[in-house]
Chain A
């Protein structure tokens, strides 16, 4: 055991770790949280100094290591812009204007489908060389964290991976929807958008109409663990309520409902629980890569696209049922809310860990325990941040 102890590898697990969520109920409470949470303080300062920016996706995706916006659905259709353009165009006679407006909207949707299919196609082939699995990546990150901690130097850069590459790999399976979608398009032509509206999973994810997003996010809002309790800060995947697991996996489209039905009947939950663990690990890797990008010392601000922000919030379930994330990201104040939700979530989860640039810190598994479901998709604050809380946090 001397070997293991020397590296500090035999971990004293954090099953009994007690952590208080960030308090956003008042200004003074938030200041206390800022003082006690170094990572929150750092991210807050970066945000205040404009180092974390959200860019609205226009024609070109911001070419950074953070975003692969083309693989995500558009956040809005510029209906007003098109309508105004048609209204102000004197060359179109009045009786033709409604027809032209619908034609242009249809053209926009077709263009969206075209771009969507093209980028899904290219993402599949671009990410073909991706050499890791989820387990391997989790392992690699942990190894590099241990090495950084023992050697007191940054070893993270030895991981030859950017968030962009990781997200491309995560989203590459959408490629297999293309044949089905194209057949539907050839068969039903102009009715295809209507079909996609009724069956959103028919089209690749980046061809999803913005209006449908809320419907999907509402159906996926049910959490595995409702509340984080300080007294029970470690919940093993094997402790989870099996009905909640079943609902979560089917609603999140991780497992088909017929298959989940079989597991429910047989009461055999090993595979569903493995899926939950895998989902947790996927999010953990994304969190880690995102945090590394945010904490990178650079003069240039870190730019996150609006689509990526919406996707990050949705996948981490940092929203309430009824919230339209696409609409929120269009509004400047609501966009701030979404960004801060993400920062609070990361600050709570990674405070005191090696990932937060603290070489004397703990590994995520040491701090929270292995695959801790108590912090899976927990917003990090005592209540979900809303616009009315912004004044409490000095914004």
Chain B
């Protein structure tokens, strides 16, 4: 009996594990038709959702079987790249990575490269070059050869990716040269918006702030906000001292995308400049959720200004806990404690139940007047 039971247990475990490894059906994880159609429209796709979805399904099924799926002649490499970009955009917008969709993205990229799409080839080659140690020498040399060919053809994405690699190696001067070359090839596309954003940051570091401002403005114009959030934030920072409303708008825009530093800046702006403490408190609260230590300080100050001692006390206790586990926070916490000694003393003395206790001591239980429901207002 025991043997039978253990046999069932083992087989059920195997079943569960096999089910867990099995990919869910595509329709369960695939984004909504409306969203995909919109992205296809944005990407100026040649083919519509109804044509592309069966292709997605085929390739997705092929992930498990490992067999190469036949791609009809009507679907070109560019279409496969658009299909890949759709999934990439969904990943960006939802800020969530689904490993199955990611695998599908990779397959789409591979197949597009096989068909001969230059963008796909370029992306794959740069993937090899970014991590040469985990690739064979042959792969690396072949990738270099392909990139050289693409570069000689003035392929825009190759130029951009070359600049990206230079930027990754902190070679701003080379990166700038390649980015400028890219802009000579195309300067009004979504990709150009990204390039303007990167160029803006290079000018920002130089610093050549007038050029940086121009680049950020172009980046914002060409790119959707989720791809140019840093441009929004840095431009906002550049305007803080001279055009504070514009700065606030830009930083708020970056906050809509969850850009961590923006919450602190907005909180400080509202607290110190606009003197809007409730609003500042809300911004700091959002920053606290991301464990930004300065937001804790700002939140504490706001609650003290608004005389919300209970909230201040809770904030202080949270900071105390954070400081116990983190050296950097601990240093800041010590500074904070020394600068706000009187406020901290005040909240330590504060007891949230004090008012209730006082009330209870003033109104003994047996003498309370019970008011009937019909006479709630005691008229």
Contact = CB atoms under 8 A, between A and B. Distances in A.
A238 B275 contact: yes
A155 to B, nearest CB: 10
Interface stretch (B41-49, B67-75, B145-153, B241-249): B241-249
Contact of B204 (A3, A239, A277): A3
B204 A147 contact: no
Contacts of A369: 272
Interface in A312-364: 363
A236 B275 contact: yes
Given A15-B272, A146-B209, A236-B272, A4 B242 contact: no
B207 interface: yes
Interface residues of A, number: 31
B310 interface: no
Contacts of B261: 1
Interface stretch (B4-12, B157-165, B232-240, B343-351): B232-240
Contacts of A239: 275
Interface string B188-206: 0000000000000100110
B185 interface: no
B244 A370 contact: yes
A138 interface: yes
B97 interface: no
A9 B238 contact: yes
B141 interface: no
Given A138-B241, A139-B239, A281-B242, A150 B207 contact: yes
A283 interface: no
B186 to A, nearest CB: 25
Given A4-B234, A238-B274, A370-B273, A135 B242 contact: yes
Interface in A1-40: 1, 3-4, 6-7, 9-11, 13, 15
B357 interface: no
Interface in B9-31: none
A295 to B, nearest CB: 22
A139 B240 CA distance: 9
A3 B207 contact: no
B367 to A, nearest CB: 47
A143 B242 CA distance: 10
A104 B230 CA distance: 69
A142 to B, nearest CB: 6
Q: Main SS of chain B's interface residues?
A: helix
Which residue, of B201, B207, B208, B272, has the highest number of chain A Cβ atoms within 10 A?
B207
B234 A3 contact: yes
A142 B240 CA distance: 11
Contact of B243 (A1, A15, A139, A236): A139
Interface residues of B, number: 24
B84 to A, nearest CB: 29
Interface string B202-220: 0011011110010000000
Given A3-B201, A3-B234, A146 B272 contact: no
A365 interface: yes
B205 A7 contact: yes
B237 A146 contact: no
A351 B239 CA distance: 23
A140 interface: yes
Interface in A128-161: 135, 138-140, 142-143, 146-147, 150-151
Contacts of B205: 3, 6-7
A58 to B, nearest CB: 39
Contacts of B208: 147
B241 A10 contact: no
B271 to A, nearest CB: 10
A-B residue pairs, 7 tightest by C-beta: A143-B209, A138-B242, A365-B241, A139-B242, A238-B275, A135-B243, A7-B207
11 contacts: A1-B261, A3-B234, A7-B205, A9-B237, A13-B272, A15-B272, A138-B242, A365-B240, A370-B240, A370-B244, A370-B273
Given A3-B205, A238-B273, A369-B272, 8 more contacts: A9-B204, A11-B241, A139-B242, A139-B243, A236-B275, A281-B242, A370-B240, A371-B273
